């Protein structure tokens, strides 16, 4: 691998990672902050438990604070998973099979954890 190509590849990967982290964080923060505002306006309904994704989505669409909290937390947790998934795609596009495999292994462990949590 030539030096110039290596540096520009690393930069592309950094940019992808940066974009995923920034969007995920912004969305998650916005959801949780909206939840707090809704809660203050419309009575205190923050429960002491979190909701599964489908229920969180339904309540968010219904404009309920509890939905915004859970969805915000889920987006926060999904951000690193998406970051790794984006890296897999970035390495595949670059035809860097070795690192595509490395990141795929990491993604596999994360998905295993999601499945074990449900079961």
Q: Is 27 in the site for other proteins (CB under 8 A)?
A: no
Q: Is 67 in the site for other proteins (CB under 8 A)?
A: no
CB of 4 to other proteins, least distance (A): 13
Query: Rounded to 5 degrees, what are φ and ψ at 2?
Result: -75, 155
Count interface residues toward other proteins (CB under 8 A).
Answer: 48
Q: Is 46 in the site for other proteins (CB under 8 A)?
A: yes
Give the C-alpha distances (Å, rounded to integers) separating 15 from 19, 77, 92, 98: 6, 20, 16, 20
Q: Is 30 in the site for other proteins (CB under 8 A)?
A: no
């Amino acid at each position: 691998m030539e030096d110039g190509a290596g540096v520009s590849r690393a930069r592309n990967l950094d940019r992808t990672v940066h974009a995923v982290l920034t969007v995920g964080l912004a969305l998650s923060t916005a959801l949780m902050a909206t939840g707090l505002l809704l809660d203050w306006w419309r009575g205190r309904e923050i429960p002491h438990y979190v909701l599964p994704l489908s229920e969180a989505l339904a309540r968010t669409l219904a404009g309920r604070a509890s939905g915004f909290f859970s969805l915000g937390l889920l987006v926060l947790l999904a951000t690193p998973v998406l970051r790794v998934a984006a890296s897999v795609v970035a390495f595949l596009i670059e035809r860097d099979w070795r690192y595509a495999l490395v990141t795929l292994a990491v993604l596999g462990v994360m998905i295993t954890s999601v499945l074990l949590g449900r079961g």
